[in-house]
């Protein structure tokens, strides 16, 4: 049998020497996350931001029946063309079945990052509790994965069409600390202020690294969420977003979309409804999160594990 987990040589060396590494998911950079060619552009920009901040980017996914952490350029090309979305629970079956190309969500990528010894992960927005979850039960596996793996996740809050208040409640229940990056307001993806307050504010990567190391020293088993608002000049109008989200969700319901297909369907409809503005905003926040993640990874590399 081929190895289940393949760590790219550059990433492997960086992890071994304690150099900063930032894990990246492949779902947002595939057409399930952003329309062509914006998806590729976004990936290139994010990768460049991580590198220019002195960290090694580690794009994750599944190729030819192996989980990949740290795709090389050819592998990245193939992943960006992927259209099979893999959550954490899908990894084992996908690898065993020899799946040719699978893109990993936050839950799957956090799982792989932890397996590879990577402590920091940057994305756009994590999944969470969907509106109407009391009826549908639709709660993203991303939340459980954050609780289970010791990884710092940097995002601009949660996907814009979730029930943000319920998602924050669930994160509290799961024991996942939510740190506001230079803000005490939980960001709402395309909008800086989601209307909910955060109790912990951090001002730089060293503060995050200190909190993360301290939690681990105290036996905390899971990760943390760093909430970084979209850059001010890139944010969208909250009213416009609400309107577009409602239309997109109504369309998804009408088309009978369910389960893992909901997110890609709503994202596509949103991109159309906002005339591409949502795509630009998504790219801007992904880049910003990558820079923050690289700063945190650098601080962690300089902060030895406490006992």
Residues forming contacts to ligand PSU in the complex (CB under 6 A) are 25, 27-28, 32-33, 87, 105-106, 124-127, 140-142, 159, 260, 263, 267
Nearer to ligand PSU, 273 or 299 (CB): 273
Using DSSP, state whether 118 is helix, strand or coil.
coil
Of 247, 238, 227, the C-alpha closest to 191 is 238
Q: How far is the CB of 81 from ligand PSU (least distance, A)?
A: 15
Q: How far is the CB of 38 from ligand PSU (least distance, A)?
A: 12
Judged by beta carbon distances under 5 to 8 A according to partner kind, the member of ligand PSU, Mn ion, none in contact with residue 27 is ligand PSU
Nearer to ligand PSU, 90 or 299 (CB): 90
Q: Which residue has the tokens 């991303």?
A: 142
Q: How far is the CB of 147 from Mn ion (least distance, A)?
A: 16
Judged by beta carbon distances under 5 to 8 A according to partner kind, the member of ligand PSU, Mn ion, none in contact with residue 25 is ligand PSU
Nearer to ligand PSU, 8 or 124 (CB): 124
Retrieve residue 176's tokens: 């996942």
Retrieve residue 305's tokens: 């594990």
Per CB under 5 A, 249 contacts Mn ion: no
Q: Which of 138, 142, 144, 249 binds Mn ion (CB under 5 A)?
A: 138
Q: Say whether 159 is catalytic.
A: yes
Count CB atoms within 10 A of the CB of residue 8. Answer: 21
Catalytic residue among 31, 119, 159, 249: 159
Give yes or no for a contact between 196 and 164, defined as CB atoms under 8 angstroms apart: yes
Nearer to ligand PSU, 7 or 60 (CB): 60
Of 162, 137, 169, the C-alpha closest to 267 is 162
Taking the CA atoms of 155, 156, 160 and 162 in sequence, report the sign of the dihedral they define.
positive
Kindly give, in sequence order, each residue whose CB lies less than 8 Å from that of residue 40, ignoring residues fewer than 6 positions away: 29, 80
Give yes or no for a contact between 187 and 156, defined as CB atoms under 8 angstroms apart: yes
State the catalytic residues: 25, 159
């Amino acid at each position: 049998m081929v190895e289940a987990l393949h760590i790219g040589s550059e990433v492997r060396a960086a992890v071994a020497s304690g150099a900063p590494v930032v894990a990246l998911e492949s779902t947002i950079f595939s057409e399930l996350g952003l329309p062509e060619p914006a998806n590729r552009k976004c990936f290139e920009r994010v990768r460049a931001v991580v590198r220019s901040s002195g960290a090694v980017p580690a794009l994750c996914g599944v190729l030819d029946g192996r989980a990949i952490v740290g795709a090389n350029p050819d592998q990245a090309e193939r992943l960006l063309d992927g259209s099979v979305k893999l959550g954490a629970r899908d990894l084992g079956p996908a690898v065993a079945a020899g799946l040719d190309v699978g893109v990993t969500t936050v839950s799957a990528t956090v799982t792989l990052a932890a397996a590879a010894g990577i402590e920091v992960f940057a994305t756009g927005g994590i999944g969470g509790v969907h509106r109407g979850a009391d009826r549908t039960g639709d709660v993203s596996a991303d939340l459980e994965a954050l609780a289970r793996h010791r990884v710092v996740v940097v995002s601009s809050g949660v996907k814009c069409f979730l029930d943000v208040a319920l998602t924050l409640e669930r994160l509290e229940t799961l024991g996942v600390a939510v740190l506001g990056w230079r803000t005490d307001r939980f960001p709402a993806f395309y909008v800086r202020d989601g209307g909910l307050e955060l109790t912990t504010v951090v001002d730089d990567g060293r503060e995050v690294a200190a909190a993360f190391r301290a939690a681990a020293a105290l036996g905390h088993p899971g990760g943390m969420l760093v909430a970084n608002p979209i850059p001010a000049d890139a944010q969208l109008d909250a009213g416009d977003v609400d309107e577009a989200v409602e239309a997109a969700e109504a369309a998804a319901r009408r088309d009978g979309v369910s389960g893992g297909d909901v997110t890609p369907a709503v994202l596509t409809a949103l991109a159309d409804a906002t005339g591409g503005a949502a795509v630009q905003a998504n790219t801007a926040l992904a880049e910003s999160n990558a820079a923050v993640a690289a700063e945190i990874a650098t601080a962690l590399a300089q902060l030895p594990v406490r006992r």
